[in-house]
Amino acid sequence: MPETTEDLGSTTLPGTALVREVAPSGSPATDFSVALLAEFVSLGVRDIVLSPGSRSQALALAAAEFERLGLLRLHVRIDERGAGFLALGLAIESGRPALVACTSGTAVANLHPAVLEAHHSVVPMILLTADRPAELRGIRSNQTTVQPGIFAGAVRLSEDVAAPDGSVGESDTAIALARLAYATALGTQTNNPGPVQLNLAFREPLSAAVELEAVALEAGAADAVLPGRPDAAPAVATGPPLPLPPGPRTVVVAGAGAGPAAEQLARLAGWPLIAEVSSGARFGPNLVVAYRELLGDADFGGQVQRVIVFGHPTLSREIPALVLRDDVETIVVAPAGLEWYNPGHRVARFVRAVAATDEAIVVAGTREARAWAGRWVMASRSILAQDTELDAPAFNTHGLSKAEFAAMKAPVTRAMLADAVWRASWPHDRLVLGASRLIRELDTRVTGKKIPVHANRGLAGIDGTVATALGIALASQAGAHPLSTGTTRLLVGDVTLLHDAGSLLIAPGEVRPRLQVVVGNDGGGTIFDGLEVAATAAPSAIDRVLFTPQQVNLEALATAYGWDYARAATRSTLESALTAPVARPTLLEVPLAR
C-alpha cells in the first residue's frame, strides 16, 4: 500500500451533504441508501463494486446516481466472487476501501474468498449485503439465510441493520454506520485494517426512482472529490520504532507486503536483504537473490545470528527453517494486523516498526560490516551467473548470429518467461503474480528493480486472481496522473486463469483497463509434480487428482469474452508481445513444457 497519510476525516462535517434528492423518493430504502453512500463518499470512498439483485436495488440505483454525478466509480460484475476480488484489487492499489454491494442469499457467501484474503492480508473492504427484514427471516422465505456473522472471524465488524421505515433520524443512522464501517475497515483505532460487513435489511418498496443533484460543490468540484489516481493511504499508527543496535550478524527478510522499509533498514545497517518478489522491497544494493542456496550454506546461512522479518514470507521453506533455529533470534516487524508471523512460535519479539541506531549506521560503514553484506551479494551474483539461461541476447533483428537466431526461435521456458515479464515491467506499470510455480520462478531469479508487484499471499489462493488484477489495473489507471499511464500485467498459470475465467466478463459500459494477462500454459497444475508424493504415487493418479489436465482453447475463451488474444511460443514472439503497447484487456498465451 502507498505510504503517505492524509486526514481522512477532514471532509466530514455533520450536516454537510454532498448530494440531495431532487424530489423525495418515497422509499425509505432509497433514502437510507443515498444517505449511506453520500457519507462514504464524503469520508473518502471512491469505488463501489456492485452485483445485480432485487433486494439490493436501492443501493444499486443510488450508486448509479452517484456515478452519474462523478462522485463514485461504479463497477458492475455479475459474479459476487469476482466482485469481491475486484474490490480487493481496488483497495490494494488505492489504499482506500471499496464498497461491495450485493443481494441476499448465496450472493453474500460468494464474497467469502475475497473477504478471507482481505482479512489475512489486512486490506480494507466494506461489504453492503442486502437482506430480508426481520419478519421474513427464519420462515423459509425465498433467498434468505443467516447473513449476520456469516463471515465469522474474518470481518472486523458485522452490523445487522434493521430495515429503514422512514422514521425521523434514519439518515443520521446511515451516516453513523458509514463512519463506523469506514474507520473500522481502515483500522484507525485498532491497527487492524480489514473487511467489515453492513448487513442491510430492506423492506418493500425496495426502491423508488431517484434523482440526485450535487450540493455544496462548486462546478468542477466533483473532480476534487473524485480525483484521478488515488495517491493517499490510510493512516496506520506505528508508535516509536524499536531501536536496533549493530548487534549480531543479521539478515533482513522481506515477505509479501513488506514495503520499502525493509530495504531501507538493510541498506542503512549494512545487512543482507532477502526480499521476496512481491515484497515491495526487491531492490537496492544489499539484495540477495539466490537466498535459498545461501541460507543452506554453512558459510552464509550458518553464520546468521539474527533475522528481522518484514511482511509475510511464503515462497520458500528456507525462511521458516531459519527462524526455527535455536541459534537465531528473530524480530518480526508489522505496522498493522493482529496475527503475527511466528513459525514454530520461535519469534523473540514482535514490533510495529524498527530503526537502525546511529551506532548501527556508523558500524555499517566499517570494513568488517561491509564484508558481511558484500559476501552475500557477491555469492548470490555468482550463483545466478552460473545460470546459463540468464543472459538473453538483446532483441535485435539485424545481424543476428546463427546462435542468436536459434536462441530467438527457442521455445519459451519458465525461466525465460519470468525474466521477460520482469524486464517488461516499469515503475509506472503494475505486476500481479498468481499463486503457484511462476511466482516462485521469479523469486528464484529476478534481480533488483523498484517496481510495484502484488500477489495475493494472504491465503495464496488461485481464486480471484484475474479480478484482483483488474481491480489493481482500474485503480492505477484512473485519472490523468502520469503514473496512471502504465500497463498492468498479470502472470498466472493456466489452472489459475481458468479458476477465475468468469472475471474475464467485462460488460458493455464498464471500463476496460490496460491489462495483459500472461498465461503460462503447461496443461494443468504442474506445481504438484514437485511434491514428494509425485515420486511414489501412480502417475495416472497424480495426473487425475493433482495435476488436473486441461485442454481449454484459450484463444476461443479470450475471444468469447471479447479480449484480444496473442500467443508466444518463442523468445522473439514473447519479447515483442511483452513490449507491444497494451490498449485493451489482452490475453497472452505462452505454451510451456510440463
Provide the binding-site residues for Mg ion, judged by CB under 5 A: 493-494, 522
Distance CA 559, CA 247 (A): 59
Site stretch for ligand TPP (CB under 6 A), options 173-181, 206-214, 234-242, 525-533: 525-533
Binds ligand TPP by CB under 6 A, chosen from 269, 491, 527, 577: 527
Q: Please say which residue, 121 or 436, places its beta carbon nearer to ligand TPP.
A: 436
Q: How many residues does the chain have?
A: 594
Q: Please say which residue, 386 or 551, places its beta carbon nearer to Mg ion.
A: 551
* Counts for the chain of helices (H) and strands (E), in that order: 20, 21
Q: How far is the CB of 424 from Mg ion (least distance, A)?
A: 21
- Which distant-in-sequence residues (6+ apart) come within 8 Å of 452 by Cβ? 280, 427, 429, 430, 431, 476
Identity at 202, one-letter amino acid code: F
Identity at 329, one-letter amino acid code: E
Q: Out of ligand TPP, Mg ion, none, which partner does residue 96 contact, by CB within 5 to 8 A per kind?
A: none
Q: Please say which residue, 448 or 591, places its beta carbon nearer to Mg ion.
A: 591
Distance CA 443, CA 433 (A): 11
- Nearest Cα to 104, choosing from 202, 12, 27? 202
Q: Please say which residue, 429 or 522, places its beta carbon nearer to Mg ion.
A: 522
Q: How far is the CB of 197 from ligand TPP (least distance, A)?
A: 21
Q: How far is the CB of 543 from ligand TPP (least distance, A)?
A: 13
Q: Please say which residue, 53 or 524, places its beta carbon nearer to ligand TPP.
A: 524
* Chain residue at closest Cβ approach to Mg ion: 493
Identify whether the C-beta of residue 536 lies closer than 8 Å to the C-beta of residue 518: no
Q: Please say which residue, 206 or 534, places its beta carbon nearer to Mg ion.
A: 534
The CB-side HSE value for 515 (13 A sphere, CA atoms) comes to 29
Q: Which residues pair with 21 in a beta bridge?
A: 212
Q: Please say which residue, 69 or 460, places its beta carbon nearer to ligand TPP.
A: 460
Q: Please say which residue, 17 or 433, places its beta carbon nearer to Mg ion.
A: 433
Q: Out of Mg ion, ligand TPP, none, which partner does residue 463 contact, by CB within 5 to 8 A per kind?
A: ligand TPP
Site for ligand TPP in 423-462 (CB under 6 A): 435-438, 460-462
Q: How far is the CB of 547 from ligand TPP (least distance, A)?
A: 8
Q: Please say which residue, 5 or 106, places its beta carbon nearer to ligand TPP.
A: 106
397 CB-contact burial (10 Å; exposed 0-12 / middle 13-18 / buried 19+) = exposed
469 CB-contact burial (10 Å; exposed 0-12 / middle 13-18 / buried 19+) = buried
Site for ligand TPP in 117-146 (CB under 6 A): none
The CB-side HSE value for 265 (13 A sphere, CA atoms) comes to 30
Site for ligand TPP in 175-194 (CB under 6 A): none
* Chain residue at closest Cβ approach to ligand TPP: 493
Q: Please say which residue, 61 or 492, places its beta carbon nearer to ligand TPP.
A: 492
Binding flag, residue 490, ligand TPP (CB under 6 A): no
Binding flag, residue 496, ligand TPP (CB under 6 A): yes
Q: How far is the CB of 468 from ligand TPP (least distance, A)?
A: 13
Q: Out of ligand TPP, Mg ion, none, which partner does residue 35 contact, by CB within 5 to 8 A per kind?
A: none
Q: Which residues pair with 522 in a beta bridge?
A: none
Binds ligand TPP by CB under 6 A, chosen from 495, 517, 518, 578: 495
Binding flag, residue 463, ligand TPP (CB under 6 A): yes
- Nearest Cα to 550, choosing from 501, 588, 513, 491? 501
Binding flag, residue 493, ligand TPP (CB under 6 A): yes
Q: Which residues pair with 430 in a beta bridge?
A: 488
Q: How far is the CB of 459 from ligand TPP (least distance, A)?
A: 8
Helical segments of 446-530, H only: 465-477, 494-499
Q: Please say which residue, 93 or 522, places its beta carbon nearer to Mg ion.
A: 522
Q: What is the DSSP letter of 217?
A: -
Q: Which residues pair with 213 in a beta bridge?
A: 20
CA 497 to chain centre: 16
Distance CA 548, CA 541 (A): 10
Binding flag, residue 503, ligand TPP (CB under 6 A): no
**Which residue has 528473530 as its cell numbers?**
330
Number of residues that bind ligand TPP (CB under 6 A): 18
Q: Out of ligand TPP, Mg ion, none, which partner does residue 496 contact, by CB within 5 to 8 A per kind?
A: ligand TPP
- Nearest Cα to 435, choosing from 376, 506, 499? 499
Phi first, then psi: give them for residue 99, nearest 5 degrees.
-85, 145
- Nearest Cα to 78, choosing from 518, 587, 502, 558? 502
Site stretch for ligand TPP (CB under 6 A), options 126-134, 313-321, 351-359, 523-531: 523-531
Site stretch for ligand TPP (CB under 6 A), options 141-149, 288-296, 365-373, 518-526: 518-526
* Longest CA pairwise span in the chain (Å): 82
Q: Please say which residue, 317 or 381, places its beta carbon nearer to ligand TPP.
A: 317
Q: How far is the CB of 258 from ligand TPP (least distance, A)?
A: 21
Cis peptide before 335 (omega within 30 of 0): no
Binding flag, residue 468, ligand TPP (CB under 6 A): no
Provide the strand spans (E) within 322-442: 329-333, 349-351, 354-356, 430-433
Site stretch for ligand TPP (CB under 6 A), options 276-284, 385-393, 403-411, 489-497: 489-497
Classified as helix, coil or strand, 415 is helix
Residues at the site binding ligand TPP, with contacts judged by CB under 6 A: 435-438, 460-463, 492-496, 520, 522, 525-527
